[in-house]
Structure 1
Amino acid sequence: MSSLILLVAVVAVGSSATVNAQSMPSQAQIEQLKKLPRAQQEALARQFGIDPSMLDQLNGSSSSSSSKSQQQEDVVFPRGTHFDKNGDPIIPEDLEAQFTRDDDELKAFGYDLFSGEPKTFAPTSYAPVPSSYIMGVGDTIKVQLFGKENRTYDLTIDREGKVVIPDLGELTVAGLSYTLMQDLIQNQVKQRLIGFKAAVSMGELRSIQVFIAGEAYKPGSYTVSSLSTISQALYVAGGVSDIASLRSIRLMRAGEVIADFDLYDLLLKGDASDDRILQSGDVVFIPARGDMVTVKGQVKRPALYELKGDETLEDALHFAGGSEDDAYLASAQLERIVRGQRVISTVDLTSNAELGKALKGGDVLTL
């Protein structure tokens, strides 16, 4: 499907003009156009001299919501999108190949989480600072003094790890946790500035440099906020490659593994406890994925899943979201490679003994 056909869809929907039946796009083609980011839709329309306002009728939005959407710049685009010198997306020639998916083809689970490529990355500036946050060079501290008179100071930690508070002197705060830094300043004010009390909070956060290595989509060195976590670093790097492991993303600090983040815990359980906050010089290493198993048939989420450790058939069902209501659990099919040959056997998934059967790489479970 060419770009011109997509634009015919815009004209056909946005105006009452008569369109030749042969060039009239199908509903599926129109739906594909709707999936494009707003910036790409507008660039495509301008390229062929079509009024971008017609896109509002195509997308089924009101004029008020349209003007609001125009004010919000898209920051995430499909992978492989190129940008011109003005920062506008360049419309690819193979739109059909880019937006058409084969519904019969099973995909590896979890890789769509980072399928978009960020044009810019702007982490939240007003995120709460955890009490364990380690103060560092470049952080800004806001100190408010109350008493005989009110004073407010915005203090930046210098290269020696110190801040200088007028009438109080210099204090070394780098390396302290956020809570200890607050206690130190408040106690010093109470002891040395008679009649004053202090309220201490964080101002602007410093930037840190981290390295993303291994099977990242765009490995390299990145500058991120000091509150960034492993998952946010993956987002900055555009996600992971097609052969990356989602089960063992390692945070390495000074040559040691600080955390081993399993994205399946986040995707399947909502558990982000291992999604640690990064420090300057950290390395996020993404190894190649391990053995894979396929779960298909009457399950809620048929896909390919990565193994980690001694997972069983019960774990495979859990990965796939469980069975459909009409699945015949008493006679599921398990295909396994044994000495270079594929062996098919029947397993009873209503039996605890069968559910505890260990999985092996290359297994295909069909309900």
Structure 2
Amino acid sequence: MAEIKLDYVNSFIDSRGKRRYVFRRKGHKKVTINGRPGSPEFMDAYHSLLERTGGAIPEIGGSRTKIGTINALAVALYKHDVFTKGLAKDTQAPWRRIIDHFREFKTPSGRVYGDNRFATIQRRNIVAFLEGKTANAQKNNLKAIRFLVRFAISQGELAHDPTEDIDVLKADGPKSTGHMTWLEPQIEQYREYHALGTVARLALELLLNIAARRHDAHLIGQQHNRAGKLTWRPHKTLRTTGKMLSIRILPNLQAALDAMPKQARAEGVLTFLVNDYGRPFASAAAFGNKFADWCTAAGMKPVLCDDGRTRNFRAHGLRKAALRALAHAGATGVELMAVSGHSSLEQVQVYIDQVEQERAAEAAMRKLTTMPTTKAAMSSD
């Protein structure tokens, strides 16, 4: 198979005669990538480096593809508006990785899927690609492959959808609890370490104040401050509802904003959150990674969750903490949606249910401890 040429990747033969691949981009450290260009492990690392350094992902094998093949359809998809404009950036990168893995997947004869004509693709080919993956991986992989298949149908390359009857595994064990929700002890621990006047502290107060996703938080700035309220369109809903959120700046956030030194940011920068050079974070991922460093510096320890997974306290957990605090304050489902930007009551009902369970359980236990007859009955047992 011909060698795949990738932007920013150079190769050389080391002292042992082995070919090595190095990712080199101006302004960033050199990174050696293990594996061979085109392999799943190599492409995962390559795409990750592109995202971290703020670069666009180039076409793979675009000049070598034959019309009508899976490779050709994938390259066409990556250029099409349905992909570039129809999908959020946070979705494009992982789905592209999955599709590239599908292209590189080999048949029993050793032929890669990408060289085959799309018109010949069958259900069993997709099932073979999904086999051996976890339930969540199967679910995510199938979504991306189905997107490619339906693009092929829209382009007249395929008459039917072979993914329609494919069932993925159901996850075993407890349902995932997602990101860790910050509670008051963790919030206070973070505040004690990161004082007012630091970007780290401002990040926490901003996330708690507006219950924002990290993508919105790293972009919000003075241009969104309108008469004491932050007003913006959440990135996640730009292509769907396009709703505008307007949330009052609370005292804790205002104090954090007032405490920031003016020389902490480069000239002309409006975003509240800036990197070590006083400039906006290159991406939501860059901000998330920096926030993880701030959590580590504050001594935030990983926690073993009920679903058996170990998780760290991260930025998204503060969004959950903000919504939980609002539910404790008596906010209704509609009021929670007005802050969070969620599109349905079902999505915020989980926070209300958690708070109501805590209150109901506390009320029940209080009744138990204040009834003399019950005490006597329990002691006699």
Fold-level match, TM-score > 0.5? no
Which is higher, the Rg of structure 1 or of structure 2? 1
More helix by share: 2
More strand by share: 1
TM-score between the two structures when normalised by the length of structure 2: 0.22
Specify which structure has the bigger relative contact order, considering alpha-carbon pairs within 8 angstroms and separated by 6 or more residues. 2
TM-score between the two structures when normalised by the length of structure 1: 0.22
